[in-house]
Amino acid sequence: MTLDSRHALSSATNDALERIGSVLDGVEPWLVASTSGSTGQSRRVALPATALRASSLATHSRLGGPGQWLLALPVDHIAGLQVLTRSLVAGIPVREVPLDEGFRPGSFVAAARTLTASRTYVSLVPTQLRRLLAHQEGTDALRTFHAVLLGGARTPEALLASAAAEGIRVVTTYGMTETSGGCVYDGVALDGVEVRVGDDGRIAIRGPVVAAGYLDQAGRLDHRLTSRFRTPDGWWLTNDAGRWLPGAKPPGSGETAVPSPSPPRIEVLGRLDDMIISGGVNVAPAAVEPLVQSWLASWYPAHAAPAEVCVVGLPDAEWGQRVVAVIAAAGAAPTDSDHDALRRQIREALGPAAVPAAVVLLDDLPRVGLGKVDRRAVQRAAQQQLNGQAASGPVA
């Protein structure tokens, strides 16, 4: 399965199209895609044609129909590969944003102008959206898309609000390589996909989009490793924590979301191994970060790029871990008394265990891939800064 195009594509993109096409045509048993390895361990995932096709069809059904895709992501991970898969399944030529010199708003604008279909889509990560919103022509280009899929990292509410204020339709996505990419859009599972939250908060996913499993070094299915994550009845156990939003929880503890006029919406709280345990209490960074963002909003003008926040846990001899809020923002820094106001706000909303013991300011947040925050690197940077402050005086 191939697509003819008058517009030249990079060799990496053409190679990926050929790989995907051979799977969709039944020549190869599965597409091999690597996980991000953001926690230090990357695995090779086997995605059969049935999963790739089911994901593509469900995506177009949710968005309102097939359309032309603009590729703005690398094709060495699932998000970029799925842009190509959707294009092949729809039979509509893909266009590409050159990324050989990194992501540049000007290149995005030029590539967007080459789209010719009546419906157009693009998939981005939050860092790309932030850069485009800071670029007038980039913002104008985003308005032309019928949907802008946004995934790869949790998106600050302020960034989503900025996009909405510009008339841009952003659809937040959740998924992973093992689910053929995004399978939950704006908190609602795609058609045919089931989601449940276990008693321990772990998200599990079942449906036609789920991978065949992991491969071993010889390229065969590693049944032993796969069985650690895939249950006999087809549920894929993720490493992510989640909760049903108020009023949206399915009946019964841990039960699967069922179709309804207002389908249940899930909130992803982040990786289970990112959970902070302070004094025996579990603290989800994703619950604390929006409160820090809200507190920061009064410090930075509405036209400025939203400050970025990453909440991490650092070792603590008394409490096991302490909560630390790491902020990357330009301009004047909040004072110690302002930090006290933040702590009061979080204590009232989430309880004392979630209150940051320190606030750390960085020029930027360390990242992996195309903009995903590297939480392990953030922890190291925060610890180094706090160690330096402790040597010279009290910390914030």
88 & 132 share domain: yes
Question: CA-to-CA distance for 54 and 336, rounded, in angstroms?
Answer: 52
In a domain, 97, yes or no: yes
From 243, 367, 346, 244, select the one nearest 290 (Cα to Cα).
346
Contact 202, 238 (CB under 8 A): yes
One-letter amino acid for residue 223 of the chain: H
252 & 284 share domain: no
One-letter amino acid for residue 272 of the chain: L
Tokens of 182: 């995004």
Domain holding 347: CATH number? 3.30.300.30
In a domain, 5, yes or no: no
In a domain, 1, yes or no: no
pLDDT tens-place values along the chain, 396 residues long: 555 554 689 999 999 999 999 999 999 999 999 987 555 578 999 999 999 999 999 999 999 999 999 999 999 889 999 999 999 999 999 999 999 888 999 999 999 999 999 999 999 998 899 999 999 999 999 999 999 999 987 788 888 999 999 999 999 999 999 999 999 999 999 999 999 999 988 999 999 999 999 999 999 999 999 999 999 999 999 999 999 988 665 544 444 444 445 788 999 988 888 889 998 888 989 889 988 888 877 666 554 555 788 999 999 888 899 999 998 876 656 666 677 888 899 999 999 999 999 989 888 888 876 667 888 999 999 999 898 766 544 444
**pTM attached to this predicted model:** 0.81
334 & 192 share domain: no
Domain holding 28: CATH number? 3.40.50.12780
With a CB cutoff of 8 Å and minimum separation 6, the contacts of 295 are 338, 341, 342, 345
325 & 226 share domain: no
Contact 337, 373 (CB under 8 A): no
157 & 52 share domain: yes
252 & 280 share domain: no
Q: How confident is the model at residue 200, as a pLDDT? A: 87
Q: Are strands 31-34 and 44-47 parallel, antiparallel or unpaired?
A: antiparallel
309 & 247 share domain: no
Give the Å distances, CA to CA, from 316 to 138, 211, 356.
44, 39, 13
Q: Provide the 8-state DSSP code for 272.
A: G
In a domain, 3, yes or no: no
Q: How confident is the model at residue 249, as a pLDDT? A: 56
Place of tokens 């449906």: 207
In a domain, 359, yes or no: yes
- Collapsing DSSP to helix, strand or coil, 336 comes out as helix
Q: Among 235, 269, 303, give the residue marking a domain's end.
A: 269
Tokens of 359: 């606030």
222 & 331 share domain: no
In a domain, 319, yes or no: yes
One-letter amino acid for residue 119 of the chain: R
Contact 67, 91 (CB under 8 A): no
Q: Provide the 8-state DSSP code for 241.
A: E
Tokens of 328: 């990357």
Radius of gyration of the chain (CA): 22
Q: Which uninterrupted H or E stretch holds 362? A: strand 358-362
Q: Provide the 8-state DSSP code for 177.
A: G
Q: How confident is the model at residue 101, as a pLDDT? A: 86
3-state helix, strand, coil in the chain (%, to 5): 35, 25, 40
Contact 314, 321 (CB under 8 A): yes
Q: How confident is the model at residue 47, as a pLDDT? A: 98
Q: Specify the number of domains making up the chain.
A: 2
Range of the domain at 82: 11-269
Q: Among 269, 299, 330, give the residue marking a domain's end.
A: 269
Contact 75, 16 (CB under 8 A): yes
234 & 319 share domain: no
In a domain, 4, yes or no: no
Return the axis-axis angle of helices 285-297 and 336-350, rounded to nearest 10°: 130
100 & 242 share domain: yes
265 & 279 share domain: no
164 & 215 share domain: yes
Q: Among 249, 269, 289, give the residue marking a domain's end.
A: 269
In a domain, 2, yes or no: no
